[in-house]
Amino acid sequence: MFNVRVYKSIWNKGKREVDEILHNQPKRIQELKSTPYFYDISIEFPPFVNLVISSGNWNSGKITRVRWDNDKRQFYCSTEDEFPSENERSRHIQTQEVDEEHLKNKCLRGGWQQLTKES
């Protein structure tokens, strides 16, 4: 069995806006916030990029990065980040905050744990 810790982040703004700020508007970077989550699982084979792991209600999403820590004998994987909706109605900041909270609650219900300094 291979021990795997899977990470993902939920952002406070839509993907296009995050990309725009990161690449073209560095003065606005303080507006961006992401909340990191993790899930620990053991699987029967080494994880790889593009793999989606699921167990019960939990689903990793597509794995985008894999790292092996030989000292801890554990794989660390990143998945695609999640962003509030960017449709027309979500252009209002309040709607983006509701969408962000919905994503966070969905994560927690699915078994993800919020990453803390102790994690």
* Predicted confidence (pLDDT) per residue in 14-33, tens digit: 888 888 998 999 888 888 89
Predicted confidence at residue 92, as pLDDT, reads 54
Q: Which are the contacts of 56, defined by CB distance < 8 A and separation ≥ 6?
A: 111
| CA Rg value for the chain | 16
Give every CB contact of residue 95 below 8 A, 6+ residues apart in sequence.
84, 85, 89
51, 75 contact by CB (below 8 A): no
Task: Say what the pTM is.
Answer: 0.81
Contact (CB, 8 A) for 35 and 112: no
Let me know: does 38 contact 2? Beta carbons within 8 Å.
Answer: no
Taking only the tens place, the pLDDT of each residue in 58-113 is: 999 999 999 999 999 999 999 999 888 766 554 555 566 678 888 899 889 999 99
Query: What 3-state DSSP class applies to 118?
Result: coil
| Contact between residue 113 and residue 39 where contact means Cβ atoms under 8 Å apart | yes
CA distance 65 to 41: 16
Contacting residues for 17 by C-beta, under 8 A, at least 6 apart: 86
Segment 37-58 mean pLDDT? 95
- pLDDT, greater one: 96 or 49: 49
